[in-house]
Amino acid sequence: MNDSVIPPQNLENASLNDFQTSLNAVSPSFCVAKWKQVTIHLQNGLTHSCHHPTAHKVPLEELKKNPSALHNTEFKKQQRKMMLQGKRPAECDYCWRVEDTRSESFSDRIYKSKEFWARPFIADIANKPWDDNVYPSYVEVSFGNLCNFKCSYCFPQFSSRLMEEIETHGGYPTHEKFNNLQNLIRRGEIPISPKEHNPYVEAFWKWWPDLYSHLQHFRITGGEPLLNKNTLQILDYIIENPSPNLTLAINSNLCIPEPQFRNAVEKIKRILGEGLVKKFELYTSAEAKGKQAEYIRFGMDYNLWIEHIHTLCRETPTLELTVMSTYNVLSLPSYRDFLKDILTIKREYTTSASQRTSLYLETPYLRYPQHQAVFIIQREMLKTIFNQITFMNDNLDGNEINASSARGFYVSELDKLKRIYNITAAELENPTFDTKTNRKDFVLFVDEHDHRRGTHFLKTFPELEEFYYSCK
């Protein structure tokens, strides 16, 4: 490691370009997230670091010896070894794709490694053995797949409603039989029933007391976490064992029944009001507006979603709220109008101390299922994304740090959409997957979606009618 690039104490304030140079001094494929960040799906024993690579199974024989194998699997240690040697793990293609566009956008390898839970550990990781058992500082955990949604790009292992649908109707008639249970069985991804003994949940609670003291960021996902009893158990543990340096985060679709929503709001108020954690973050999702959002995220009430965001911004002003937009082909028609709704909320709510908005927009691109990825669009449709970028650019915050009224989009938010445009343009120029097959699958999927769920694609997305028939 070349410590002379940027002294460790200066990494926080380094520019992204300078930070990337310093990170690459360890190796050009080094990413702290492979060590210090983990997402664990306890309902089926899968793990991945970070959340972009495909999750892999935690071997039970490893888990019996060491509960921390929920994170420190032998497979993952081999990926870490590759990174320290300057080799690119294939599972990290999300970032390699961004970096290979040679654009001004930065990959999540850079963004994640610069986060507060990652950057202090760069030198420590570089100087320790690659097979070291690591305590992650950022943990995301799913306790089960109980959910009241069945999103178009989701999977049965993450949604009980979708599991019920697939058990009744089978997989979708795409060339890969999207969400076919046989594929899930073969990959070992069928969720363990809540009525059965779950060795992964058992291992988690064994590991939890030791893990808790090392955590800087703990995030609960699902399913719908606010419908899962384990989430309440975690919140009660934190109430009894405050952790002033912990950032606590929960994912929620925010369309849960009102009693559960009010209960969650009151707990958030207590945890924030009593200073039991350093920060409380809530992540929610949408990638379109109105009926189009409800088509993508079946079970959603878009107006209720907006209403609950207003409630959180109004009643819990110190809560940090992030909207995750998994940008896909169905986002194109209404995403600009969706951005207007986000901008309205940004302009209405600010924190008095910093005047920064209470709402942040994160825009990753959908990778799978490929038949819904934005990469299947036709070249002329790129102008729609460009217009969305233009809207964000026209409504940028004047100065992210020193603005007296930061009520627009941040440069970092704009950059996430720009890189989607750049990646899509590069994919259209030099396709890396079978566009023809994925377009055909797109039509097969939405036709079956309409048949199963009583939806009507062409009435909901009239702007995509020409694209639909060209694919068909």
- CATH number for position 262: 3.80.30.10
Q: How far apart are CA 436 and CA 438, in angstroms?
A: 6
pLDDT of residue 402: 41
Q: What is the pLDDT of residues 319-329, one digit of tens each?
A: 999 999 999 99
Domain co-membership, 51 together with 194 = no
**Domain ends where: 137, 169, 196?**
137
Structure tokens at 169: 């109707």
**Domain ends where: 114, 137, 160?**
137
Name residue 279's beta-bridge partners.
Answer: 247
**471 belongs to a structural domain:** no
In terms of phi and psi (left: phi > 0; alpha: psi -120 to 50; beta: otherwise), the region of 188 is left
| Span of 347-361, 377-391, 392-406 with lowest mean pLDDT | 392-406
Dihedral sign (CA 96, 98, 99, 101): positive
Domain co-membership, 204 together with 59 = no
Q: How far apart are CA 472 and CA 468, in angstroms?
A: 6
Q: How far apart are CA 393 and CA 190, in angstroms?
A: 43
User: How many residues make up the chain in this entry?
Assistant: 472
What DSSP state is assigned to residue 323?
E
Instruction: Give the orientation angle of helix 335-348 with respect to helix 382-394, to 10 degrees.
Output: 10
Q: How far apart are CA 459 and CA 291, in angstroms?
A: 10
Domain co-membership, 107 together with 24 = yes
Domain co-membership, 117 together with 179 = no
**456 belongs to a structural domain:** no
pLDDT of residue 8: 64
pLDDT of residue 404: 44
Domain co-membership, 227 together with 341 = yes
| Span of 94-108, 114-128, 287-301, 410-424 with lowest mean pLDDT | 94-108
**160 belongs to a structural domain:** yes
Q: What is the pLDDT of residues 394-426, one digit of tens each?
A: 998 764 444 445 578 999 999 999 999 999 999
**130 belongs to a structural domain:** yes
Residue of 93, 94, 38, 41 whose CA lies nearest to 326: 94
Q: From residue 102, how far is each of 2, 28, 123, 303, 431 by CA, in Å?
A: 24, 15, 27, 40, 17
Residues 104-125 have a mean pLDDT of 92
Q: How many CB atoms lie within 10 A of CB 266?
A: 12
Q: How far apart are CA 25 and CA 21, in angstroms?
A: 6
Specify the higher pLDDT residue, 2 or 414: 414
**449 belongs to a structural domain:** no
Q: How far apart are CA 135 and CA 117, in angstroms?
A: 12
- The total number of structural domains in the chain stands at 2
Amino acid at the residue 299 = G
Q: How far apart are CA 192 and CA 409, in angstroms?
A: 42
Domain co-membership, 110 together with 169 = no
Q: How far apart are CA 116 and CA 348, in angstroms?
A: 28
Domain co-membership, 189 together with 112 = no
Average pLDDT, the chain: 91
Q: How far apart are CA 218 and CA 207, in angstroms?
A: 14
Q: How far apart are CA 334 and CA 86, in angstroms?
A: 41
Q: What is the pLDDT of residues 299-310, one digit of tens each?
A: 999 999 999 999
Q: Are 142 and 154 in contact (CB under 8 A)?
A: no
**78 belongs to a structural domain:** yes
Domain co-membership, 37 together with 173 = no
Q: What is the pLDDT of residues 143-197, one digit of tens each?
A: 989 999 999 999 998 999 999 999 999 999 999 999 999 988 888 888 988 778 8
**472 belongs to a structural domain:** no
Domain co-membership, 398 together with 273 = yes
- Residues in CB range of 235: below 8 A, 6 or more apart: 267, 271
Domain co-membership, 186 together with 86 = no
What DSSP state is assigned to residue 327?
B
Name residue 338's beta-bridge partners.
Answer: none
Domain co-membership, 160 together with 53 = no
Residues 290-304 have a mean pLDDT of 97
Structural domain harbouring 90: 8-137
pLDDT of residue 302: 98
pLDDT of residue 403: 44
Domain co-membership, 96 together with 70 = yes
| Span of 55-64, 200-209, 355-364, 407-416 with lowest mean pLDDT | 355-364
**128 belongs to a structural domain:** yes
Residues 258-271 have a mean pLDDT of 93
**Domain ends where: 137, 161, 179?**
137
pLDDT of residue 192: 87
Amino acid at the residue 470 = S
